[in-house]
Every structure is written in C-alpha cells, then in structure tokens.
C-alpha cells in the first residue's frame, strides 16, 4: 500500500496538536474488501465529554491535473464515509490537503458547492512548516 507523500507530515502535525494516532492505517472492511484510510486518531476532550475520534485521508494533489486528483479524492472520501457511517459511527472522516490546494480548488463557487453538498470535513496543512493550519467542519 503506497502512502501519500505528506503522510508522515500530517501524522506528526496531528500528534503535535494533541491527537493520539490509533491506526496507521485505519482498516475498514466491507464484504470481502479491505479499505485503508490513512490514519485513525483520537483526542481526549474535557473529562466529562469523553474522546473524539477521527479518520484522516491525506491527499497531496501533486499530479499534472489537480482537478483529476480532486475527482479521485472526492470519490474515495465518499466511499469511506458511507462505510464508516455503518461501522465507525463515532469517528469523523476528514480529508487532509495542503492549504494552497484548498485555496486553488475549493475557494470558488464549485468548491463551496462541493463542500456543502458532500459535507466535506477538511484539515489544511502547510508542508513547509509541517503544521495544521485550519480545520473546516
């Protein structure tokens, strides 16, 4: 299984932000198929609120066509979200991407439409500083 070029960067940034990596990768099974979400993580909330759990699919968008990568990422995210809705109801799925890609692909009319209708949850990071810069819910 090939890892995204930014896999370790996002993993380390999550840890620095207080998350515990629980799965690397998070394996979800549907029928006879095993699918691999890049990371599973958890974070302790206030003592009375319990633990927040997330799954993170990391995308670099480094191919010649960022739009083709955009289509592929949306399809993969959608498949994972449907399976997790059945099996991992307490875990929220996020799509992680570089901040500049988000600006290029998602901060226009098409991007806003897709985020709203696909209910995308996004983690933005800056590769140069290896930091998470924004959570979009």
**How many structural domains is the chain composed of?**
1
* CATH number of the domain within which 100 lies: 3.40.1350.10
Q: Is residue 2 part of a domain?
A: no
Q: Is residue 64 part of a domain?
A: yes
Q: Is residue 114 part of a domain?
A: yes
Q: Is residue 48 part of a domain?
A: yes
Q: Is residue 1 part of a domain?
A: no
Q: For residue range 100-129, list pLDDT tens digits in order.
A: 999 988 888 888 898 889 889 999 999 999
The domain in which residue 102 lies consists of 7-136
Cβ atoms within 10 A of the Cβ of 27, count? Answer: 10
Q: Where are the beta strands (DSSP E) in the chain?
A: 20-23, 26-30, 33-37, 39-44, 51-58, 91-98, 122-126, 131-136
- Percent of the chain residues topping a pLDDT of 70: 96
Mean pLDDT of the chain: 92
Confidence at residue 1, expressed as pLDDT on a 0 to 100 scale? 60
């Amino acid at each position: 299984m090939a890892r995204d070029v930014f896999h370790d960067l996002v993993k380390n940034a999550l840890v620095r932000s207080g998350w515990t990596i629980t799965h690397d990768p998070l394996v979800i099974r549907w029928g006879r198929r095993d699918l691999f979400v890049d990371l599973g993580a958890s974070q302790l909330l206030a003592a009375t609120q319990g633990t927040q759990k997330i799954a993170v699919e990391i995308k670099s968008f480094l191919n010649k066509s960022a739009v083709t990568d955009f289509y592929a990422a949306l399809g993969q995210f959608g498949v994972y979200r449907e399976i997790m809705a059945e099996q991992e109801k307490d875990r929220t799925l996020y799509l992680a991407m570089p901040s500049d890609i988000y600006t290029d692909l998602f901060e226009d009319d098409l991007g806003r439409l897709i985020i709203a209708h696909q209910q995308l949850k996004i983690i933005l990071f800056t590769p140069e500083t290896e930091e998470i810069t924004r959570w979009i819910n």
